[in-house]
Amino acid sequence: MEQKRLPTSSQWPPSYRKKSGRPVKVIMSRKDVFEGTGPAAASLMRTKIGATKDGKITAAKLWLAFDAGAFPGSPIGGATMCATGPYNIENLLVDGYDVVTNHQKVQAYRAPGQPQGSFSVEPLMDELAEKLGIDPMELRLRNVVKEGDRQPNGVPHPVFGAKELEEAMRDHDHYQTPLSGPNQGRGAAIGYRWQGGQASSVTINVNSDGTINLTSGSVDIGGTRTAIAMQAAEVLGITAEDVLPQWQILTQLVTPPIPGVAARHLIQVMRLLKLQRR
């Protein structure tokens, strides 16, 4: 079946600009936004996880069904890849279904499919930890993915920082501080998202007052501008308030609409910042 996609607002200005020969700006009302986009996918998920008494996960089985709306194209692929992504599971079976319904066509939102997929696994990890009498973060560390472990699609992971991340979470005061009273709890969850996209770039200028102008061609996707400013401040050894991020069209920027673009923006920019610092 042919997959049908809705046009996006980014397609209109270039067309109008070409026909009119004038600059074009499209402003959508809230009504236009609702009618011109779509909801995130509803989902139905069933998950089973098996483990030894010492907390080593031996197998997992997932059944995921996503509502695509009137035409195929739900983010079921993202869910099947991300649900068990943070864990090294040797025996894994994931069945994913893209279900066509009489609902509005769904659209992609940040990391499409990942939140639902992670939600199918993370609460179950907490239940498993409780049954085994193991700290939830310790259970995750005993099964954490490392470089060379295979992804759900069988491809080996490259460099993977999940272990270092989870150890930092476990050792942080927010996790170690005793709860101050009854009816209080503390939770932790781990998410995974693969990345794609091409190179981005940044330009840094130092102002006379010591602040930094950070110009990037990266569109502000999911708070990218704020995150880049914070990371630039860390690399340069200054406060985030002293970094003034701004967006500008740069010919070096190429950002095709494929998974993980927002996250990869940050990684690419940080690599450039470190190179500039050298």
Longest dimension (CA), the chain: 70
Q: What is the DSSP string of 132-177?
A: HT--HHHHHHHTB--TTPBPTTSPBP-S--HHHHHHHHHHSHHHHS
Reply yes or no on domain 202-277 having CATH 3.30.365.10.
Answer: yes
- Non-local (6+) Cβ contacts of 267 within 8 A are 195
User: Which pLDDT does position 260 carry in this prediction?
Assistant: 53
Instruction: Determine if the pTM surpasses 0.85.
Output: no
What's phi and psi for 50, nearest 5 deg? -115, 140
Range ranked top by mean pLDDT from 107-116, 117-126, 216-225: 117-126
User: Which pLDDT does position 254 carry in this prediction?
Assistant: 44
User: Which pLDDT does position 252 carry in this prediction?
Assistant: 46
| DSSP 8-class letter at 87 | B
pLDDT of 148 strictly over 70: yes
pLDDT of 253 strictly over 90: no
User: Which pLDDT does position 30 carry in this prediction?
Assistant: 87
3-class state of residue 97 by DSSP: strand
Q: Between 6 and 155, name the one with better pLDDT.
A: 155
User: Which pLDDT does position 204 carry in this prediction?
Assistant: 87
What is the location of CATH 3.30.365.10 in the chain? 43-174, 202-277
Range ranked top by mean pLDDT from 7-16, 64-73, 250-259: 64-73
Distance of CA 116 to the CA centre of its chain: 12
Per-residue pLDDT band at 257 (split at 50, 70, 90)? very low
How many H-runs (helices) and E-runs (strands) does the chain carry? 9, 6
43-174 folds as: Aldehyde Oxidoreductase; domain 4 (3.30.365)
Integer Cα distance of 112 and 138 in angstroms = 28
Per-residue pLDDT band at 43 (split at 50, 70, 90)? very high
pLDDT mean over 216-243: 85
Alpha helices by DSSP H, 67-146: 76-82, 114-132, 136-142
Count the Cβ atoms, other than its own, within 10 Å of residue 116.
Answer: 23
Integer Cα distance of 69 and 87 in angstroms = 31
